């Protein structure tokens, strides 16, 4: 870069210049940047001004500093404030798993097992550092670049939390919490308004693996469901289907999922067992886990885009002054979030686990009006089973029906941690004497839902027989 160019280019911390925008979300924008000294490419995160109360980037900085140096997490370079924006500079990574899923529509079993093994190991490392992620989803799981093209990374710690202090003291269990996370992949505990822990990260990972295997999840497609209702309805479906979610997959998945669901809040997950079961699934089907994914073999085909950032333009953005720089960032931030149309589709209760129709590969689905009416009646009448346990249902902080986050922080309390950890206050005993365990509560809710569906179907049958007699 010659002196004339350098004088026109805004540099953060006298070291990092913006090259171009990479991605955006409800909390800010991520730019491709460059270290003007070492010429190394970096990722620059710029937080939106309206999120000052939330301070999600401040939280992410704290978490990344805790994780810095651990394998599978982006390296921290610098953070600070410039032009009124919070800035974070971290290691530049490759494409996220959502990118590859969009290309392929679903992944083969080898790729899913590889993601699962790496994902469990990543969560174990984060948990060993005292950090829970709390918003696991494909967009937050990225691959490296260059020699690390097959290495999985976890990113985006804006709503992560420290679950234990330096002495190893665990945060306390609480209920009546506001929903936190991404509805599609959130744990059942999140829907019930419980404090999240290590087990909930693993549960979210299992939903992601099922999503990759099948191409969609049973609770994605609901008709006539508002944003306010959707979080509740999804929670109810997860709860009612938990014993059969993986019935069309290799048995190891259901075994792992069931073991995670049985964990108590403070109980340490058996990460080694989970990895062993995933490897066992591979061995039983003669699948060699060599670290490679299916897209590595086909990325040269014409329909598959390049999966690294190496082809990004290196033409630097030129600015005459700081005001011009600020206006450019404001323009990027103001247009960062695009809400696509919500395509809530119908799926009857009998077909929640049916493979997605072939037409879904082209984002079109066949509708069944008869089943539609029956499904809607069931969904609306199941109603308050989960609501009775958690009356504080709210939109997700990172609700993501179509791939981009919705900016729905309705009030400050909806982001439930003013600090990244909270070891104070009154603890609710999770399984104390004279109290029901959470597992017993789950079972009661499930039995209620299942009994209601049975009674509804029986009632429909009686009505049908009466009409035939007439």
What's the pLDDT tens digit per position in 227-279? 878 999 999 999 999 999 999 999 999 999 999 999 999 999 999 999 999 99
| CATH number of 330's domain | 3.30.200.20
- Check: CB of residue 422 under 8 Å from CB of residue 173: no
Residue 153 domain-assigned? no
Among all chains, which residue has been given the structure tokens 């967009």? 139
Q: Measured on CA atoms in the order 265, 271, 273, 276, is the torsion positive or negative?
A: positive
Is 330 a member of any domain? yes
User: Region 189-194: what's the mean pLDDT?
Assistant: 96
> pLDDT class for 45, splitting at 50, 70, 90?
very high
Catalytic residue among 135, 200, 201, 307: 135
Identify the pLDDT of residue 254: 97
Least confident of 65-79, 98-112, 456-470: 456-470
What is the tally of structural domains in the chain?
1
**Each residue's pLDDT tens digit, 77-136:** 999 988 778 899 999 999 999 999 999 999 999 999 999 999 999 999 999 999 999 999
84 in a structural domain? yes
Q: Does residue 69 form part of some domain?
A: yes
In a domain, 83, yes or no: yes
Q: What are phi and psi of 157, to 5 degrees?
A: -110, 30
Is position 10 within any domain?
yes
Which domain range does residue 13 map to? 3-92+315-334
Whether residue 42 lies inside any domain: the answer is yes
Q: Shortest CA distance to 227 belongs to which of 376, 412, 51, 400?
A: 400
Contact 98, 307 (CB under 8 A): no
Q: Is 165 one of the catalytic residues?
A: no
**Order of strands, edge to edge, in the sheet holding 16-25?**
11-12, 16-25, 28-35, 41-47, 85-91, 76-82
Q: Is residue 117 part of a domain?
A: no
Pick from 60, 62, 51, 59: which is nearest to 84 by CA?
51
- Tokens coding 385: 């089973």
Q: How far apart are CA 275 and CA 116, in angstroms?
A: 8
């Amino acid at each position: 870069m010659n002196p004339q160019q350098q004088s026109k280019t805004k540099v953060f911390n006298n070291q990092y210049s913006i090259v171009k925008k990479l991605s955006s979300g409800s909390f800010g924008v991520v730019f491709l940047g460059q270290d003007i000294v070492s010429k190394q490419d970096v990722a620059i995160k710029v937080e939106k001004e309206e999120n000052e109360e939330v301070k999600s980037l401040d939280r992410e900085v704290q978490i990344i500093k805790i994780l810095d140096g651990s394998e599978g997490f982006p390296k921290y370079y610098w953070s600070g404030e410039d032009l009124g924006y919070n800035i974070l500079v971290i290691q530049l990574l490759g494409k996220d798993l959502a990118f590859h899923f969009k290309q392929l529509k679903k992944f083969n079993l080898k790729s899913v097992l590889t993601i699962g093994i790496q994902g469990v190991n990543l969560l174990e490392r984060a948990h060993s550092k005292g950090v829970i992620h709390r918003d696991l989803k494909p967009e937050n799981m990225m691959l490296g670049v260059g020699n690390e093209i097959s290495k999985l990374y976890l990113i985006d710690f804006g709503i992560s939390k420290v679950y234990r202090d330096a002495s190893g003291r665990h945060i306390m269990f609480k209920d009546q919490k506001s929903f936190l996370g991404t509805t599609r992949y959130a744990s059942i505990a999140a829907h019930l308004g419980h404090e999240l822990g290590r087990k909930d990260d693993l549960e979210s990972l299992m939903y992601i693996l099922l999503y990759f295997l099948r191409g969609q999840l049973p609770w994605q497609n609901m008709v006539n469901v508002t944003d306010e209702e959707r979080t509740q309805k999804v929670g109810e479906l997860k709860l009612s289907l938990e014993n059969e979610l993986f019935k069309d997959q290799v048995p190891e998945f259901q075994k792992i999922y069931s073991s995670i669901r049985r964990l108590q809040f403070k109980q340490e997950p058996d990460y080694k067992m989970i990895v062993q079961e995933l490897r066992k699934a591979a061995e039983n089907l003669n699948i060699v886990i060599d670290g490679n994914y299916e897209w590595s073999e086909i990325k040269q085909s014409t329909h598959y885009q390049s999966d690294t950032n190496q082809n990004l333009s290196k033409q630097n953005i030129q600015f005459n002054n700081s005001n011009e720089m600020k206006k450019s960032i404001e323009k990027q931030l103001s247009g960062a979030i695009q809400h696509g149309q919500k395509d809530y589709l119908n799926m009857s209760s009998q077909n929640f686990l049916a493979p997605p129709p072939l037409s879904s590969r082209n984002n079109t689905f066949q509708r069944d009006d008869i089943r539609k009416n029956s499904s809607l009646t069931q969904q609306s009448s199941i109603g308050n089973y989960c609501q009775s346990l958690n009356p504080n249902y709210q939109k997700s902080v990172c609700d993501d029906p179509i791939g981009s986050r919705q900016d729905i922080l309705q009030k400050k309390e909806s982001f439930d941690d003013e600090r990244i950890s909270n070891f104070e206050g009154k603890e609710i005993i999770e399984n104390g004497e004279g109290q029901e365990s959470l597992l017993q509560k789950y079972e009661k809710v499930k039995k209620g839902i299942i009994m209601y569906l049975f009674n509804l179907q029986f009632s429909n049958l009686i009505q049908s027989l009466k009409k035939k007699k007439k």
